[in-house]
Chains A and B, each alone.
Chain A
Amino acid sequence: MSHAIQAEGLVKHFGETKALCGVSLQAESGTVLGVLGPNGAGKTTTTRILATLIRPDEGNAQVGGYDVLKDAHRVRQLIGLTGQYAGVDEMLTGTENLVLIARLLGMSRPDSKSRAAELLERFDLSDAAERAAKTYSGGMRRRLDLAASLVGRPEILFLDEPTTGLDPRSRTGLWDIVRGLTDDGVTVLLTTQYLEEADQLADDIIVIDHGTVIASGTSDQLKAQAGGQVLQVRPVNAADEITVARVVADLLDATPEQRDGLVSAPVTDPAVMPAVVRKLDEAGVTLSELNLRKATLDEVFFALTGHHTDDFEAEAEELMSQEEAKA
C-alpha cells in the first residue's frame, strides 16, 4: 500500500440521514488532498471516520497503513486533527493547552514546555502564551488549535475546514503554514468549502456533494472538466443582456449563466471567440466587458452539480441586496 490515506466505499447514517453514500479517496504520502464540498456534503463525517472518531457503517479505511477500525490506537499515534470548531480549552493558556497535549503524548515535563514554546513561537503566539485561550481572536485560536495538532509531529494531518470564519489575512497566513508542513513531508487531508483554498493548497481534489464523490483530480483537471475556460460578456445596456445570452447560447452550445448583467458560459473551443464578437456587433450590442479566463472551481462545482456552493450563493445574494440598497 503506497497511500498515506486510503478509504473505500465509506457509508455512514445518522438516524434517517445518510451522511455518506460510499465515499472513496486516497492521498499519496506527502501531498495535500483537498476535500471540497458545500456545507453538509459529508466532509466532516469523512474526516471523523479517518481520524478514528466515528465508525463507518460500511466500507474500510487505512491511515498510515493501519486500519482505522482494527488498529485505531496505532492510527492515533500517526495523526493530528484540527476540527472545524477549534478544539482548545478556553480556560487554559496557550502554553498549558500545548503542554497538556504533549504530556498526554508521553513527553516529559521539560520536553513538553520546550515543545510548547517552540510551537507558540512558530505560530506567532509567543506574546499570548500566558493568556487564557478565551481571550484569543478567532485566527489565534485556529493557530493554537493547529499547533495542538502538531505537538506530536504527526505524519498525517486532518484539517477540517481550518479557515472557515477567518478573515482573509489570517486565511493566507494559515495557507503558508500548511504549505510549510507539506515541505516537511506531512500528508494533509484538508476539507474546505472555499474553492480557492483547494485550488491554492491541494495537489489532488475530490469534490463531494450529498455524501458522494462527484469528481476527482487535480485542480487543472477539474477545471478542464468544466470546459476549461469561461467567457464573460457584459453589455453596456442591461436591456441587451437577453440578446447577449442568446448569441452566446447559440455559438457555445451551452446554457449561459446570467447574474447582475454579466453573461458567462463555459468555452470548450476558444476559436469561437471571433464569431461571438462578430455576432454581437451585428446585433448592435455595445460591450463594457468581454473576457475569456480559466474556470474557477466554483464554476467547476456548478458544472458538476448544477448548483453553486452555498457560500457562493450567500455571497451573491449579499451583493444583490447591497446593489438594491444602493438603488
Chain B
Amino acid sequence: MTAATHTTPLPRQVGLGTGLRNTMTLTWRNLVQIKHNPMELIDLSIQPIMFVLLFAFVFGPAMAGSVSDYLPILIPGIIVQNALFASMTTGVGLNTDVTKGVFDRFRSLPIARTAPLAGRIIADTVKQAWSMLIVLVVGFAIGFRVETSWINLVPAFLLLLAFSLLFAWVSVFVGLAVNEPEKVQIFGFTIIFPITFLSNAFIPVSDKYPTWIRTIMENNPVSLLGDAIRGLLIGHDVTDPSVAQPVAGPAIAALLWGVAIAAVFIPLSMRAFRRGV
C-alpha cells in the first residue's frame, strides 16, 4: 500500500472543530465514569460536608465566639481548600490513564493532542463546581450568608477555577512522575494540608504568630484567594465589619501565584512526560 492508494488525501492535522469535539467526547468519558463509581461522587461530597461541620462546630466557638461568627472566615477558606484537593483528582486520573495504557491508546488515535488533557480538566472543573456547591449548601444550612450579592458567586467561582487550573499542573506533574495513582493522592495530602493550614483559611492572621509564620500566612495564595472570596461574598473584613475587604488586590496576587506555579510545573510535566514514554 502506498500513500497514493488513498483516493482522498488524508488530512494532515486535526481541525479546530474536530479538536473541540474530541475534547467534549473525552469530557463525557471522564464524567460518565462517575456513574460506574458512585464512590467518587460520595468522596467529592462527604469530605466537604465533613470539613465544614467539624470546623464550624468544633473550632467555631473557640475561634470566633460562635458558629455563626466563624462561618464568614471558614466557608471561603474551605472552598479554597476544597478546590486544591479537587485539583489533585486531575493528577490521579491522568496517572491512572498513563499506567493503564489508556493514554497510549488516545495518543495513537488521530485526535487533537491536547484533547485528553483538556477533556480531563473540563470534567474535573465540573467536579470542582459540584464540591463548591456542596460547601455552600452546607454553609447556608448552618447559617452562612452571602452579604453582598448572589451574582458575586460567579466571579468567585471563576477566580477559584482559574487558580485551580493553574495549580492542577502540580498534580499533572506528580501524576506523570510517580508510578501509582495512590502516590499522587498521598503526595497531594502531604502538600495541601500544610499549604491550607499555613493560611487564613481557618483562622485570621494575627500578631499572635511569630513574624515568619505571619509572612507565610499573609502571602500564601490560599489566604489571598480566601480574602478575595470573602471580599466578593461577605464584602467586609471578617474581624472588623467597618473595614471593606478588597478583592482585586488579593485576586491578582493569587493569580500571579498560579501563573508562577504553572510556569514551573508545565515544563516539569512536559519533561516527565517525555521521559516516561
Residue ranges of A at the interface with B (Cβ–Cβ < 8 Å): 1-2, 4, 14-15, 29, 48, 51-54, 64-66, 71, 73-74, 76-81, 83-93, 96, 100-101, 103-106, 132, 148-149, 152, 155, 187
Contact = CB atoms under 8 A, between A and B. Distances in A.
Interface of B: 1-5, 10-14, 18, 21-22, 25-26, 28-29, 32-33, 36-37, 97, 99-111, 115, 275, 277
Residue from the set A4, A87, A132, A187 with the largest chain B CB neighbour count within 10 Å: A87
Contact of B101 (A83, A91, A92): A83
Given A74-B12, A91-B33, A93-B36, A83 B110 contact: no
Contact of A81 (B10, B28, B108): B108
Contact of B1 (A15, A29, A73, A149): A29
B83 to A, nearest CB: 24
Contact of A73 (B3, B4, B13): B13
Contacts of A92: 29, 32-33, 36
A104 B115 CA distance: 10
Contact of B104 (A53, A71, A77, A91): A53
A64 B25 CA distance: 27
A87 B33 contact: no
Contact of B108 (A15, A79, A84, A91): A79
Question: Mostly helix, strand, loop or mixed at chain A's interface?
Answer: loop
A73 B14 contact: yes
A104 B33 contact: no
A113 to B, nearest CB: 14
B100 to A, nearest CB: 7
A91 B3 CA distance: 38
Contact of A89 (B3, B11, B29, B275): B29
In order of increasing CB-CB distance, the 3 nearest A-B pairs are A87-B101, A65-B3, A87-B105
A79 B277 CA distance: 19
Contact of B105 (A15, A74, A148): A148
Nearest to A84: B101
Contacts of A15: 275
Given A48-B277, A100-B29, A64 B108 contact: no
A259 B275 CA distance: 42
A2 B29 contact: no
A104 B109 contact: yes
A65 B2 contact: yes
Given A86-B101, A87-B104, A54 B1 contact: no
B36 A64 contact: no
A64 B37 contact: no
B29 A53 contact: no
B100 A52 contact: no
B133 to A, nearest CB: 23
B101 A85 contact: yes
Given A2-B2, A74-B10, A103-B25, A89 B108 contact: no
Given A65-B1, A92-B36, A73 B12 contact: yes
Contacts of A105: 109-110
A96 B12 contact: no
Nearest to A54: B277
A189 B11 CA distance: 24
A83 B13 contact: no
Given A53-B108, A88-B102, A73 B33 contact: no
A31 B3 CA distance: 18
A108 to B, nearest CB: 11
